[in-house]
Chain A
Amino acid sequence: MNSKTIMPYWEHFEHGADIGIRGIAPTLEQAFEQTAVAMTAVITNPDQVSASKAVSIRCVAPDHELLLLDWINELVYEMAVHGLLFKRYLVAINDGILSATAFGEAVDRQKHQPAVEIKGATFTELRVYQQPDSSWVAQCVVDV
């Protein structure tokens, strides 16, 4: 199967104390976007979040895995400091530089029922790789 036929998607995977987030998509950028949706889903149902605010994010890292770590940690920081939740993301990656926009809104405890806050992205199960069908996988465990 050609990766172009795969619809981008996200999933969670098991970790003893915490939770793994994974994005799978035809392109690296889309995989990063999906991993971030998986992160939102740790906190709340992404469908319950509206996309009324846009935040710009930029990260630079020497490899894809550290870039994913930085990307998730930037989002954790933005959420914590500005009291936000994100619904969707638009990511571009060129020469190890990630430029992105995250769309979301302020946390509303009644509406979102946020289950848990994320402390940070970890190196545990941190992997970014291409599958034989050429689709991309981007994953790590987040500490909650």
Chain B
Amino acid sequence: MDIRQFIQRDETCWEIKPFGAMRVPAIIYADAQLLQDMDQKVYEQLTNVATLPGIVEAAYAMPDAHWGYGFPIGGVAAFDPDQGGVVSAGGVGFDISCGVRTLHTGLQIDQLQPYKQALADALYRTVPAGVGSRGKIHLNHENMHGMLMKGAKWALEQGYGEEQDLERIEEHGCMAGADPHYVSPRARERQKDEMGTLGSGNHYLEVQRVAEIFDREVAKTFGLRVDDVVISIHCGSRGLGHQIGTEFLKDMAMSASQYHIALPDRELACAPLNSPLGKQYLGAMRAGINCALANRQIITHLTRQAVATVFPGIHLGLLYDVSHNTCKLEHHIIDGQKKALYVHRKGATRAFGPGHPDLPPVFKETGQPVLIGGSMGTSSYVLCGTKESEQRAFSSACHGAGRAMSRSKATKQWWGRTLVDELAAQGIIIRSPSMRGVAEEAPLAYKDVGAVVDIADRAGLARKVAKLEPVICIKG
């Protein structure tokens, strides 16, 4: 888009002053190149978000922002319930609490090399991935209720995981305030056989090598050294989250006029936080967050089982688990006053800095790990939250690279089989049930995640700690 539409506030901060119905400014963190490459739709969507009732400070977009549904993907916006603030199903997205979890293996890359194929096969056999895959867990009514209320904590009670996993998950593995009564029978039906499945699209399980360390001290606290092997899982709340998103998006769109909300775009469908519909959505969405946390916990268990068949006796501990499609009640300082705000992060990662009370003791001095997933065959990054991120964008950072090319263009440009062979020649093993799916996720169909992360670092949204390179990728 045309960067002349913006006022450049500093090296990485670009502002659109309020005009028309905008209540607050819109701010994008980027450099001139990333900004130019962004779709004009990001401008339109972000300025639309800035018109919503009760929005506080500004509507923000992260360096990886792209065209989304109402909100841009990479959008962050906080709302004050006392000022008529709203909650938006589009501001959370269809894949509620989609996120990334990274596990330590305790292995170094040279220990893995002779067993790479064996580990790829074991993971592919054990973790269900792709369209039509089903998990081995079948949820009855009681189990479903427990899962929706307690998230990863429920999974642990069922025998999937270890007690110490919980403190290394946002919300300590259990999102408070979930209300399963507002999760429809259809959402439950879509989920009952999908626990412990990766899904498809850009979701994956990846074995990675720590390729570079940027901050030695923090990396030490995070337990990362060059050539360490880690495993990252990227997935969300599966069919349950998708169905909650689908149903509430429509309900909110149809009831906006009842709440006297003028929507510049139907996709921005929202409801006042204090309204019955707003409360129902919050209850259901939080249950969706728990579903995602339980799902990643079960996949962690399956991953541990698979790894144990190749490396008996090794322990896979969590680095951290982050979500990037959420709306959460948080406390932030506005004009010197502590305020309770509902922060939407759509394709944006929470990035609490050092000393934040919600962090476990281990991360009190470093800030939380911020896990940025790459795409198949490209690097991922570990960052840490900063103090200044609080002022920059309610303690938020980017979540990934974002697509540079549509799926249909990608399938015209690449053959899945050829890509798998090319990546194999680079030492990266791909396992996927669909070669067309592989083509759609071609590494070059995505933007350069390195450029996005550099800007997040320079903008102070989060600080770079380590770079991870893929070794094995199980694609959904």
Q: Is B312 an interface residue (CB 8 A)?
A: no
**Is A8 an interface residue, CB under 8 A from the partner?**
no
Indicate if B189 sits at the interface (CB-CB under 8 A).
yes
What is the bound-complex CA distance between A139 and B324, given in angstroms? Answer: 28
Give the one of B73, B406, B435 with max A CB within 10 A.
B406
Partner of A144, one of B249, B253, B402, B407: B407
* Chain A 66-78: CB-based contact to B (< 8 A → 1; otherwise 0): 1001100100110
Task: List chain B positions with a Cβ less than 8 A from chain A.
Answer: 39, 41, 66-70, 73, 90, 93-95, 130-134, 186, 189-190, 199-201, 239, 242-243, 245-246, 249-250, 253-254, 265-267, 269, 402-403, 406-409, 411, 433-437, 439-440
In the assembled complex, A16 has its CB within 8 A of some CB on chain B: yes
Chain A, residues 6-20, CB within 8 Å of chain B (1/0): the string is: 000000101111110
Taking a contact as CB atoms closer than 8 A, the residue among B246, B433, B435 that contacts A120 in the complex is: B246
Across the interface, name the chain A residue whose C-beta is closest to B189. Answer: A81
Contacts A116-B131, A123-B266, A124-B267 given: A17-B66 contact, CB under 8 Å? yes
Cβ A16 vs Cβ B39 within 8 A: yes
A114 with B95: CB separation less than 8 A: no
Shortest CB-to-CB span from A128 to chain B, Å, is 13
- In the bound complex, do residue B132 and residue A109 qualify as a contact, i.e. CB atoms below 8 Å apart? yes
CB of A58 within 8 Å of the partner chain: no
* A50 contacts partner chain B, Cβ-Cβ < 8 Å: no
Q: Which of A42, A44, A62, A123 contacts B269 (CB 8 A)?
A: A123
A113 to B70, CA, bound (A): 32
Q: Which residues of A contact B249 (CB under 8 A)?
A: 120, 122-123
| Closest A residue by C-beta to B192 | A81
B267 and A119 form a contact (CB under 8 A): no
Total count of chain A residues near the partner, CB < 8 A: 37
Interface centre among A12, A18, A66 (most CB of B within 10 A): A18
Instruction: Check A17–B73 contact: CB distance below 8 A.
Output: yes
Establish whether residues B246 and A121, one from each chain, have CB atoms under 8 Å apart when the complex forms: yes
- Residues of B within 8 Å of A19, CB to CB, are 406-408
- CB within 8 A of B433: which of A14, A66, A109? A109
Residues of B within 8 Å of A42, CB to CB, are: 407
A and B contact pairs by CB, cutoff 8 A, 15 listed: A12-B408, A16-B66, A16-B402, A17-B402, A66-B250, A81-B189, A81-B190, A83-B134, A109-B130, A113-B436, A115-B437, A116-B201, A117-B200, A120-B242, A144-B200
Is B250's CB under 8 angstroms from A69's CB?
yes
Write out the residue numbers on chain B whose beta carbons fall within 8 Å of the beta carbon of A55.
Answer: none
Are A107 and B132 in contact, with the CB atoms below 8 A?
A: yes
Check if B67 sits within 8 Å of A16, measured CB to CB: yes
A88 to B40, CA, bound (A): 36
Measured between alpha carbons, how far is A81 from B130 in the docked complex, in Å? 15
Whether A114 touches B403, Cβ cut-off 8 Å, given contacts A73-B246, A120-B242, is no
Closest-CB distance, A71 to chain B (whole angstroms):
13
Instruction: Give the CA-CA distance A113 to B131 in the complex, in Å.
Output: 9
What is the CA–CA distance of A120 and B248 in the complex, to the nearest angstrom?
12
CB-based nearest A residue for B435: A113
For the complex formed, measure the closest distance between the CB of B354 and the CB atoms of chain A, giving whole angstroms. 33
Report yes or no: A115 in contact with B200, Cβ–Cβ below 8 A.
yes
Chain A, Cβ-Cβ closest to B438: A115
Instruction: Assess whether A90 is interfacial by the CB under 8 Å rule.
Output: no
State how many angstroms separate the Cβ of B413 from the closest Cβ of chain A.
14
B200 contact set on A, CB distance < 8 A: 114-117, 144
Which B residues touch A12, using CB under 8 A? 408
Closest to B245 in A: A120
A residues less than 8 Å from B253 (CB atoms):
123
B201 touches A14 (CB 8 A): no
The distance from the CB of A21 to the nearest CB of chain B, in whole angstroms, is 11
Closest-CB distance, A67 to chain B (whole angstroms): 12
Q: Which chain A residue shows the least CB distance to B66?
A: A16
Q: A12 → chain B, closest Cβ, in Å? A: 5
- CB distance A144 to B69 under 8 Å? no
How close is A120's CB to chain B, nearest CB, in angstroms? 4
Give the distance to chain B from A52, nearest Cβ to Cβ, in Å.
Answer: 16
Within 8 A of B (CB), among A81-101: 81, 83
Closest to B41 in A: A16
In the bound assembly, the distance between CA atoms of A62 and B253 in angstroms comes to: 12
A54 at interface by CB-CB < 8 Å: no
Q: Contacts A17-B403, A120-B246: A115 and B69 contacting too (C-beta < 8 A)?
A: no
Q: A115–B440 contact, CB under 8 A?
A: yes
State how many angstroms separate the Cβ of A60 from the closest Cβ of chain B: 13
8 more A-B residue pairs beyond the given contacts A15-B406, A116-B131, A123-B265, with a C-beta to C-beta distance below 8 A: A17-B68, A66-B250, A77-B186, A116-B201, A120-B94, A120-B243, A124-B70, A143-B94
Taking a contact as CB atoms under 8 Å apart, the answer to whether A122 and B407 are in contact is no
| Residues of B with C-beta under 8 A to A14 | 406, 408-409
Across the interface, which residues of A come within 8 angstroms of B433, CB to CB? Answer: 109, 113-114
Residues of A near B239 (CB, < 8 A) are: 80-81
The reply to whether the CB of A51 lies closer than 8 angstroms to some CB of chain B is no
Residue ID in chain A nearest B409 by CB atoms: A14
User: CA–CA, A43 to B243, complex, Å?
Assistant: 18
Given contacts A123-B253, A123-B269, contact A83 B246 (CB under 8 A): no
CA distance A116 to B199 in the complex (A): 8
- Contact of B243 (CB < 8 Å), options: A62, A77, A116: A77
Whether A80 and B190, one on each chain, are in contact in the complex, defined by CB atoms closer than 8 angstroms, is: yes
**By the criterion CB–CB under 8 Å, are A116 and B440 in contact?**
yes
In angstroms, Cα B45 to Cα A16, docked, is 13
